[in-house]
Amino acid sequence: MSSQKLSTQIEGIPVSTEELSEDVLRKLEFDAYEVIEKSGGIPVVITASGQQMTLHPKLYNFRKDSCKKTHQSPLGWFECSLTITLSLKEDGGDPSEQDKRIGVKWDPKGEWVRQ
């Protein structure tokens, strides 16, 4: 937090007015995939066949494309565009590059979290 500009406040908590760093977004994204894996994966049902399976997505790479405030967003909220490389195969094979958007906000604890 030392290099962030903290001049605006929400309920007495300083809010960063600078764009989120790629390192902050990388941690949030990798943490999200770790939570999915620790919870046993994502159960899915293929509608056409009724086949059930559990996906274990593995995140390999991450790149921040942009972060911006929208006109409707509260102070300290951003929408970020990412490019991620991930695999949905159980063995982690055939990773593919995908675009993704996530919402991020500054919380009262003084840190960036997912919306």
In this structure, what CATH number is given to the domain that contains residue 81?
3.10.450
- Does residue 50 fall inside a structural domain? yes
Using CA atoms, how far apart are residues 12 and 7, in angstroms rounded to an integer?
11
Q: Which domain holds residue 27?
A: 6-114
Based on DSSP, count helices (H) and strands (E) in the chain, helices before strands.
1, 8
User: 12 to each of 17, 107, 109, how far by Cα in Å?
Assistant: 15, 12, 11
Q: Which two three-digit tokens encode residue 98? A: 């995908």
Number of domains in the chain: 1
Contact 84, 98 (CB under 8 A): yes
Q: pLDDT, tens digit, for every residue of 62-114?
A: 999 999 987 888 888 999 999 999 998 878 889 999 999 999 998 888 889 99
pTM of structure = 0.78
The CA-based angle 34-82-10, given to 5 degrees, is 80
- Does residue 26 fall inside a structural domain? yes
- Does residue 1 fall inside a structural domain? no
